[in-house]
Structure formats: structure tokens, C-alpha cells
Amino acid sequence: MWKSLGRREQPVAAVIGLTCDSDPDGRRVFLNSAYVAAIYQAGGIPLLLPSGSKEMAEEYLKIIDGLLLTGGGDVDPRLYGEEPKEGLGRVVRERDEFELYITRRALFLGKPILAICRGMQLLNVAAGGTLYQDIVRELGSSLHNPGGPRHALHHRVEIQPGTLLGRWLGGQVGVNSMHHQAVRSLGQGLRVSATSEDGVIEAIEGTGEVFVVGVQWHPEELTNFYPEQHKLFKNFVAAAHVSI
């Protein structure tokens, strides 16, 4: 498997924890290999973090230097004070509660965080924000989950000047799109760094000095086709290395 991950840029000691999904019965833990490859190619050491207890999360936090919140199913709306609406997909409460806990603790400890798709939504909820449970039903937009290859660019996002994303990607970039939920009200300590043409929030980042970045698209699927997307992982791993 490791031969397929690609060239490693340079050896560094930063250990990056990657959250995982699981089967409905919890018997199997899994994660798309693209996340692992993106971290490894950026010089990090990927470590999968199966969901578990708060005690398990604390043990993970002693090992990892950065936290990657990965994609997956929907976040339980009860965790941000709403009842489920039509259009809500599969939720795994155990994963939600585990990731909310480890994210809040990582924020408190000042560990760098990169959050992707569901991960960005989870980050926002962890900071006290809310979500659109289904973009099509609540906003009338069908821009964000058109299907097709995972590396296909579906639309462009406008990036705010003065943000980390603006520094790395410029003012506009094409992205893939595989989601039906999105940030609604923004969590504390976060700011919007990119939006799509229909106004949906496509990226957020922390307002403090610690690296906290969330993107709604899947850059791990784009790095082999659009090298600029690799900058997200390279800068994340570099921030995690500095924090050691």
C-alpha cells in the first residue's frame, strides 16, 4: 500500500491524527486512502483515530501534533439544538460526540486543525455554530453534489483577501463538490474565508494564531491533478511540526 502513496517531501516528526468512519454496526473502521496519501506526501505521519471514549481521545491528543477532521455522514442536528429535518442523511452519534470532544480539546490545546467537508461542518458545530441540514431543500441550490469523478472540478469559489487560503490559492479556485450540508451560522472564533457563487460558505478559518482551516471541498482528491491544492496539506503539516 505504501508504494502507492507517492513521494514524501521530507522527513518530519509531525504526527497527524485522522478521524475515521465506521460501519453502522461499528464492526469495521475505515477511511479513504486519499487522506492518508495527502498527509504522507506533505511530510506528515498519518495516524488513524477510531472513534471512542473521552479517555481514548485524551490518549490520542498526547500522541498527535495536528488533527485532520475527515469527511463522511451528516452531523446529528440535536448537537446544535435542532430537530432532524427532511433531507438529513445518515448520522453516527458516537462519531459525532467523539469528534466534537477531540476537536474542542484540540482547539483548547492549540493543536493545528485541518477540517474537510463534514469535518468543516463538525468544526463549526464544535465552535457553537449551526448547519443547513440539506442545501437543496433549505437554499434551493443543486450546485454542490453533482456526481461524477471525485477529482472533477464542479464550480469555483471566491476567496477572501487577507486569509490563509488567499495567501495559498489566490482569489479564486476551482473545486470538487460532494456535500449536501453546509455552515449556516458561524461558530465563535471562526471567520469565512471562501464562498461559492450561490453564497454557500466554502471555507472557514480561525481568527487566532493557531492553524485552524476548514474547506467544504475535498482537496485530498485533487492534489495529484491540481498541485495548488497540495499547499493546504503542506502548510498544515508544517504548522503541526512547528507546534511539537
The whole-number mean pLDDT for each consecutive block of 10 residues of the chain, a chain of 244 residues, reads 49 85 85 97 97 97 98 97 95 96 98 98 98 93 84 92 96 94 98 96 97 98 95 97 81
Would you please indicate which residues are annotated as catalytic (active-site) residues? 117, 218, 220
pLDDT at 7: 56
Helix intervals (H) in the chain: 33-41, 54-63, 93-109, 118-126, 135-139, 164-169, 230-242
Q: What is the CATH topology of the domain spanning 2-242?
A: Rossmann fold (3.40.50)
Instruction: Of 231, 74, 110, 106, give the one whose Cα is nearest residue 159.
Output: 231
Q: Are strands 201-206 and 172-175 parallel, antiparallel or unpaired?
A: unpaired
Q: What residues does each domain of the chain span?
A: 2-242
User: Within a 13 Å sphere around the CA of 101, how many CA atoms are in the beta-carbon half?
Assistant: 18
pLDDT at 96: 97
CB atoms within 10 A of CB 231: 17
Q: What is the pTM of this model?
A: 0.93
Cell of 196: 461559492
pLDDT at 2: 39
Beta strands in 4-43 (DSSP E): 15-19, 21-22, 29-30
